[in-house]
Amino acid sequence: MANSTATAGPLRNRTAEAFLHNPALGPLGALVVAIVVFSVTTSTFLTVDNLSLVVQQSLVVATLALGQTLIVLTSGIDLANAAIMVLGTMLFARLVTEGSSPVLALVVGFVVCAALGGVSGGLVTWLNLPPFIVTLGMLTVVLAAGRLYSQGNSWPVTDPVLGLLGEGGYLFGQVRVTHGMTLAVVMFALVWYALTQTSWGKHVYALGNDPEAARLTGIHVGRTRFSVYLIAGVIYAFAAWQALGRIPNADPNAFQTGNLDSITAVVIGGTSLFGGRGSVLGTVVGALIVAVLRSGLTQAGIDSLYQDVATGVLVIAAVAFDQLARRRSR
């Protein structure tokens, strides 16, 4: 079948195949271009403290997007992730305010977030309900639960353990590195490892690709899918902790668009909403691109309405690029 390569054009084919192997390459290029453009057009973007800020600004959405990536890889979607996270922040904050120890509050918050992820996963896996519908329902329920539990107030956080991830030190005396940044690096590395270096990861990709094929090859499709939602729930709890590190205030009205923001990061990062294709690395890049655009455009003196336009255009471009690359490789 050597002739099939010849007809497609060897170089073109190879480039397209490179993108197939690593869908993060395109977004990575876009990120580099954005950084270069803002570095040239503004005098304030390309500074050590600004780059550190950009990373800090992207942390919460990036962490939400990490869980979202797992679910999208199984050809699911999670509309409830930010609501689960917000409930997590409420639990952390209110429990500590009412006198429980911060560690206990964290444990409770993590268990609740994981359980909520598990509920979504269970409904999707064993009742065979569409993820969109399940998580839409969860979104509404969890949002209301958060508002009820918050009693309509926002809960300020002063506890050092809950605010830990916003603390940090300086690398080389100049680059501000928060514990939240370190934690995010560790989490992304772990999930990257699990997805690419273990059987579980292969099974996640395979079931997102074609669940029936995965079942026929003997993969425990149900168990794997459920585990993905459960793990995503735990990741959302980490996002809640990150959020309190960033803004020490648990607000039931916060992150109303967090679910869509995380999907944006996932999609810009080159992960396919049809499942089975994508990478954690792409998601990191996707989240950074959004933060870089926001930061760079603000510093270029461009109002936020146009920033949204830029982000929207990028989402569409990312999906179009994904489709083109795949078509070319055929």
Partner 1 sequence: MSTPALQARGLVKRYGRVTALDGADFDLYAGEVLAVVGDNGAGKSSLIKALSGALVPDDGTILLDGAETRFHSPLDARRAGIETVHQTLALAPAMDIAANLFLGRELRRPGPLGGVLRLLDKPAMRRQAQEQLDALGIETVQHIGQIVETLSGGQRQAVAVARAAMFGSRMVIMDEPTAALGVKESRLVLDLIRRIRDRGLPVVLISHDMPQVFELADRIHIHRLGRRAAVVRPGDASMSQVVSLMTGALRIGEDGAPPDVSGAE
Partner 2 sequence: MSRSSTLTACLVTTALLGTAGCTATKSGSDSGGDSSGPVKIGLVTKTDTNPYFVKLRESAKAHAATKDAEVIAVAGKFDGDNEGQVAAIENLVQQGVKGILITPSNSTGILGALKQAKDKGVLVIALDTETDPKEAVDATYATNNVTAGELQGKYIKATLGQTPPRLLLMDGTPGGTVDEQRHRGFLQGMGLKDGDPAILGAAPTNGDQNKAQAAMENLLQRDASVNAVYTLNEPAARGAVAALTAKGLAGKVAVGSIDGGCQGVADVKAGKYLATVMQFPKKMAEQGVDAVVAFSKDGTKPSGFQDTGAQLITDKPLPGLDSKDTAWGAQNCWG
- Site residues for partner 2 per CB under 8 A: 18, 21-22, 24-25, 28, 31-32, 35, 39, 42-51, 53, 57, 60, 147, 150, 152-154, 156, 166, 174-175, 192, 196-197, 243, 246-249, 251-257, 279, 281, 284-285, 291, 294-295, 298-299, 301-305, 307-308
Pick from 45, 92, 155, 205: which binds partner 1 (CB under 8 A)?
Answer: 205
4 binds partner 1, rule: CB under 8 A: yes
Pick from 216, 260, 309, 313: which binds partner 1 (CB under 8 A)?
Answer: 216
Question: What residue 136 binds from partner 2, partner 1, none (CB within 5 to 8 A, per partner kind)?
Answer: none
Question: What residue 39 binds from partner 2, partner 1, none (CB within 5 to 8 A, per partner kind)?
Answer: partner 2
Pick from 98, 218, 301, 305: which binds partner 1 (CB under 8 A)?
Answer: 218
324 binds partner 1, rule: CB under 8 A: no
**Which residue lies nearer to partner 1 by CB, 153 or 217?**
217
106 binds partner 1, rule: CB under 8 A: no
Site string (164-183) toward partner 1, x via CB under 8 A: --------------------
Pick from 217, 256, 304, 323: which binds partner 1 (CB under 8 A)?
Answer: 217
What's the chain look like in SS3? Answer: CHHHHHHHCHHHHHHHHHHHHCCCHHHHHHHHHHHHHHHHHCCCCCCHHHHHHHHHHHHHHHHHHHHHHHHHHCCCCCCCHHHHHHHHHHHHHHHHHCCCCHHHHHHHHHHHHHHHHHHHHHHHHHCCCCHHHHHHHHHHHHHHHHHHHHCCCCEECCCCCCCHHHCEEEECCCEEEEHHHHHHHHHHHHHHHHHHHCHHHHHHHHHHHCHHHHHHCCCCHHHHHHHHHHHHHHHHHHHHHHHHHHCCEECCCCCCCHHHHHHHHHHHCCCCCCCCCCCHHHHHHHHHHHHHHHHHHHHCCCCHHHHHHHHHHHHHHHHHHHHHHHHHCC
Pick from 57, 114, 155, 203: which binds partner 1 (CB under 8 A)?
Answer: 203
Q: Which residues bind partner 1 (CB under 8 A)?
A: 1-2, 4-5, 13, 17, 20-21, 197-200, 202-203, 205-206, 209-210, 212-219, 276-277, 326, 329-330
